A and B are shown apart, each in its own frame.
Chain A
Amino acid sequence: MNIVVCVKYVPDATADRRFESDNTVDRVGVDGLLSELDEYAVEQALQLKEKAEDPTSVTVTALCVGPEKAVDAVRKALQMGADEGVHVSDEAIAGSDYIATSLVLAKAVEKIKADKGQVDLVMCGMASTDASGSVVPAMLAERLGLPQVTFASVIESQGDQVRIKRDGDTATEVIGGTMPLVMSVTDQTGEARYPSFKGIMAAKKKPMETLALSDIGVDAGEVGLSVAWSEVADTTERPPRTAGEIVKDEDGSGATALTGFLASKKFI
Chain B
Amino acid sequence: MSEVLVLVDHVEGAVRKPTLELLALAKKLGTPSAVFIGGADQVSAATEKLAAFGAEKVYVIDDAEIKGYLVAPKAEALQQLAAKAEPAAILIVSSAEGKEIAGRLAIKLDSGLITDAVDLADDGTTTQSVFAGNFTVQAKVTKGTPIITVKPNSATPDETAGAGTVEEFAVTISDAAKTAQIVASQPRKASGRPELTEAAIVVSGGRGTGGNFEPIEGLADALGAAVGASRAAVDSGWMPHTFQVGQTGKTVSPQLYVANGISGAIQHRAGMQTSKTIVAVNKDEEAPIFELVDFGVVGDLHAVLPAATEQIEIGSSIAVAFARTPMTLANTAHDLQSLSGGRFVLGLGSQIRPHIENRYSMPWSHPARRMHEFVRALHAIWNTWEDGAPLEFDGEFYRHTL
Cβ of A171 and Cβ of B185 under 8 Å apart?
yes
A181 to B130, CA, bound (A): 30
Q: Is A258 part of the binding interface, using a Cβ–Cβ cutoff of 8 Å?
A: yes
- Which residues of chain A are near B270, meaning CB under 8 Å? 132
Cβ of B308 and Cβ of A255 under 8 Å apart?
yes
Cβ of B70 and Cβ of A175 under 8 Å apart?
yes
| Interface 9-residue window, one of B52-60, B295-303, B390-398 | B295-303
Cβ of A248 and Cβ of B299 under 8 Å apart?
yes
A232 to B141, CA, bound (A): 9
CB-nearest residue of chain A relative to B101? A138
Q: Number of residue pairs across A and B with beta carbons under 8 Å? A: 268
A252 to B309, CA, bound (A): 12
A37 to chain B, nearest CB (A): 7
A153 to B97, CA, bound (A): 15
A142 to B99, CA, bound (A): 13
Cβ of B107 and Cβ of A163 under 8 Å apart?
no
Cβ of B181 and Cβ of A130 under 8 Å apart?
no
CB-nearest residue of chain A relative to B186? A172
How many chain-A residues does the 8 Å CB contact rule pick out?
85
A131 to B247, CA, bound (A): 11
Chain B interface size, as a band, is 35 or more
Known: A99-B113, A148-B70, A177-B180. A142 touches B103 (CB 8 A): yes
A64 to chain B, nearest CB (A): 20
Q: Is B100 part of the binding interface, using a Cβ–Cβ cutoff of 8 Å?
A: yes
A174 to B285, CA, bound (A): 44
| Interface 9-residue window, one of A114-122, A202-210, A212-220, A238-246 | A238-246
Cβ of B103 and Cβ of A135 under 8 Å apart?
yes
Cβ of A244 and Cβ of B293 under 8 Å apart?
yes
- Which residues of chain B are near A151, meaning CB under 8 Å? 96
Cβ of B137 and Cβ of A246 under 8 Å apart?
no
| Interface 9-residue window, one of B157-165, B273-281, B348-356 | B273-281
A181 to B72, CA, bound (A): 13
Cβ of B115 and Cβ of A133 under 8 Å apart?
yes
A88 to B319, CA, bound (A): 64
Cβ of B140 and Cβ of A177 under 8 Å apart?
no
C-beta contact mask, B55-70 vs A, less than 8 Å → 1, else 0? 0000000000000001
| Interface 9-residue window, one of B32-40, B310-318, B357-365 | B310-318
- Which residues of chain A are near B290, meaning CB under 8 Å? 244, 246
- Which residues of chain A are near B247, meaning CB under 8 Å? 37, 127, 129, 132
Cβ of B96 and Cβ of A232 under 8 Å apart?
no
A136 to B298, CA, bound (A): 42
Majority SS of interface residues in chain B?
A: mixed
Cβ of B281 and Cβ of A258 under 8 Å apart?
yes
| Interface 9-residue window, one of A41-49, A77-85, A193-201, A259-267 | A259-267
A186 to chain B, nearest CB (A): 6
Q: Is B176 part of the binding interface, using a Cβ–Cβ cutoff of 8 Å?
A: yes
A134 to B71, CA, bound (A): 13
Q: For chain B residues 122-170, which have a beta carbon within 8 Å of chain A?
A: 125, 129-144
CB < 8 Å: which of A18, A145, A149 contacts B176? A145
CB-nearest residue of chain A relative to B93? A169
Q: Is B108 part of the binding interface, using a Cβ–Cβ cutoff of 8 Å?
A: yes
Q: Is A158 part of the binding interface, using a Cβ–Cβ cutoff of 8 Å?
A: no
A236 to B185, CA, bound (A): 42
CB-nearest residue of chain B relative to A267? B256
CB < 8 Å: which of B113, B291, B304 contacts A249? B304
CB-nearest residue of chain B relative to A236? B136
CB < 8 Å: which of A142, A175, A267 contacts B183? A175
Q: Is B106 part of the binding interface, using a Cβ–Cβ cutoff of 8 Å?
A: yes
Q: Is A53 part of the binding interface, using a Cβ–Cβ cutoff of 8 Å?
A: no
- Which residues of chain A are near B179, meaning CB under 8 Å? 146-147, 177-178, 181
Q: Is B30 part of the binding interface, using a Cβ–Cβ cutoff of 8 Å?
A: no
A13 to chain B, nearest CB (A): 6
Pull 8 A–B residue pairs with CB atoms less than 8 Å apart, ordered by A: A132-B116, A150-B96, A176-B181, A235-B136, A247-B297, A254-B299, A268-B222, A268-B312
Q: Which residues of B contact A (CB under 8 A)?
A: 9, 11, 70-72, 75, 95-97, 99-104, 106-108, 111-116, 125, 129-144, 176, 179-188, 201, 222-223, 231, 241-242, 247-248, 255-256, 266-267, 270, 277-279, 281, 285, 290-300, 303-305, 307-308, 311-312, 315-316
